[in-house]
Structure 1
Amino acid sequence: MKILVVDDNPAILDSLSALLSAQGYFINTACHGLAASEKLQNDCYDLIIVDHLMPIMNGIQLTKHIRQHEIYSEKPVIFMTTQGRKTVKNICDTSLFSAIIDKPIDEQNLLKLINDLLSPNTRLQSL
């Protein structure tokens, strides 16, 4: 399974890459939405983890872009935020996301969520 992790914080990219690689996932990273968009055009991912606040193209803009492509219209997108779920619900349509998680990331909950989202019988999850 291939996962794309998008965050402008190198420490978060490194820690999530290490965590997910140790679980057997193939990880690719991008430091902002535009870089992620380019990677999504050149490769196919099973799941995308997107940070909220990033330069160039934020996570909401990126997810809207992702959902416009037929290949990714139903792929799971986990949205990470430091702003809280309530704030995200007030500024955008949260149905864009398969799940919203708060930063700092609870690694065990993230792993369970990813497992649930990538299970064939699970369609959408919410924490």
Structure 2
Amino acid sequence: MSERVLLVEDNSAALAQFRDALSNRGYQVTTAVNGLDGFAKVQTQKFDLCIVDHLMPLMNGPQLLKNLHSMGERAPTAVIFLTTQDLDVVEQLPELCIADIVLAKPLSTELLLENVADLLEQTSMAY
């Protein structure tokens, strides 16, 4: 069974690019266009990995991380946080303690895929 990934990204070009790359690698990808949409999907489905964009309408990435954390064992096993902001500033956000990896955008598809594979391998070995 392939891993289930939730991709939460409000930029339609980035969403399509990352969704297609992940799908082509065999991941089951569900997409959400903002944090509120993503949180609704996490409440009804179980995901192995959640990829969360930082700045989005309706519910931003840090708020989504906080909400995911509140779900306890129902939360995704792993989280990758994407941002266009300065990493030194973003990494100071208290909500980022929930993210396993923080990546700067623009982001190559290959770098994202490498991080996804590595993180899912680490989390599967932990169980």
RMSD: 1.7
Q: Unmatched 5+ residue regions in structure 2?
A: none
1:30 to 29, 32, 43: 32
Shift of 1:94: 2.7
Shift of 1:92: 2.9
Equivalent position SS for 1:27: strand
Where does 1:96-107 land on structure 2 (aligned, <5 Å)?
A: 96-107=98-109
Where does 1:19-58 land on structure 2 (aligned, <5 Å)?
A: 19-58=21-60
Q: Distance in 2 between matches of 1:12 and 1:106?
A: 10
Please, which moves more after superposition, 71-80 or 45-54?
71-80
Alignment CA distance shift 1:122-1:12 (3 Å): farther
Shift of 1:61: 0.3
Alignment CA distance shift 1:8-1:74 (3 Å): closer
Equivalent position SS for 2:125: coil
1:76 maps to a residue whose letter is A
Equivalent position SS for 2:107: coil
1:31 maps to a residue whose letter is V
For 1:81-105, what per-residue CA distance to the aligned partner results, in whole angstroms no more than 9, with x for missing partners?
Answer: 0002111023334321100001011
Where does 1:58-73 land on structure 2 (aligned, <5 Å)?
A: 58-73=60-75
> Is the contact made by 2:4 and 2:48 (CA closer than 8 Å) also made in structure 1?
yes
Q: Unmatched 5+ residue regions in structure 1?
A: none
Percent identity of the aligned residues?
Answer: 37
> Is the contact made by 1:7 and 1:32 (CA closer than 8 Å) also made in structure 2?
yes
Shift of 1:73: 4.8
Q: Distance in 2 between matches of 1:122 and 1:28?
A: 24
Q: Distance in 2 between matches of 1:81 and 1:38?
A: 22
Shift of 1:75: 1.4
Alignment CA distance shift 1:74-1:11 (3 Å): closer
Please, which moves more after superposition, 110-119 or 71-80?
71-80
TM-score w.r.t. length of structure 2:
0.89
Q: Distance in 2 between matches of 1:77 and 1:3?
A: 10
